[in-house]
């Protein structure tokens, strides 16, 4: 049960209801949403019941399927139709072991940009894949980017761009957290159409 005095916990507690309302607004069954996102029907059922908290990847996949920004799923207020996002007003959110701050307003369309912190202690044990393209730029720390069967270590000032359908994984390389800018965009297919093929 969430603490009503903790705004972050309260927003997390409201995510299941938002997912359910959006699904019903589209007239979709859990099976139809599973087809649209690549997330299993059982996992989606647990998300809607509040038994599971969605990862960042799952939020991205759900947002794309519903045609909304991730910020709408996590309850961040809309930017009033504008395209200015004030960094001081963006709350840090958490998902999939990462910390992130959305940098695009809900009106940005298919483009998703965010500032991501990859904690040094984060040791991902799986690869992710989804439709579209990703571009990232390392601000500080060192990033280990696993892409397909290879691995690259990126330093501050380094950038990478890749087809996100190639299995990939982000991890900090070293004892310090890694800060990066991440931009994802659709290419001929819905953005984050299936970020997680299996849950």
- How many C-alpha atoms does 132 have within 13 Å on its Cβ side? 20
pLDDT digits over 3-30, tens only? Answer: 555 556 677 788 888 898 888 888 889 9
Confidence (pTM): 0.55
The span from the first CA to the last CA of the chain, in angstroms, equals 24
Length, in residues, of the chain: 199
**Greatest distance between any 2 Cα atoms in the chain:** 47
Helix (H) or strand (E) holding 65: helix 56-66
Check residue 87 and give its pLDDT.
Answer: 65
- What does the alpha-carbon distance between residue 184 and residue 177 come to, in Å, rounded to a whole number? 21
Q: Higher-confidence residue: 34 or 128?
A: 34
* Residue carrying the six token digits 């997680």: 196
Q: Please compute the mean of the pLDDT values over residues 174-197 and round it to a whole number.
A: 68
């Amino acid at each position: 049960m969430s603490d009503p005095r903790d705004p972050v916990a309260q927003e997390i507690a409201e995510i299941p209801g938002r997912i359910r309302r959006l699904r019903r607004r589209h007239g979709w069954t859990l099976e139809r949403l599973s087809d649209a996102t690549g997330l299993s029907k059982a996992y989606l059922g647990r998300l809607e019941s509040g038994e599971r908290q969605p990862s960042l990847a799952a939020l991205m996949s759900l947002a794309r399927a519903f045609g909304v920004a991730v910020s709408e799923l996590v309850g961040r207020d809309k930017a009033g139709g504008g395209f200015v996002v004030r960094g001081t007003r963006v709350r840090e959110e958490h998902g999939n072991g990462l910390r992130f701050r959305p940098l695009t307003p809900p009106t940005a369309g298919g483009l998703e940009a965010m500032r991501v912190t990859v904690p040094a202690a984060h040791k991902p044990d799986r690869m992710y894949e989804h439709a579209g393209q990703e571009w990232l730029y390392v601000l500080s720390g060192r990033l280990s980017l696993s892409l397909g069967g290879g691995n690259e270590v990126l330093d501050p000032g380094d950038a990478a761009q890749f087809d996100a359908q190639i299995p990939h994984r982000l991890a900090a390389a070293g004892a310090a957290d890694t800060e990066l800018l991440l931009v994802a965009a659709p290419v001929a297919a819905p953005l984050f159409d299936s970020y997680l093929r299996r849950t």
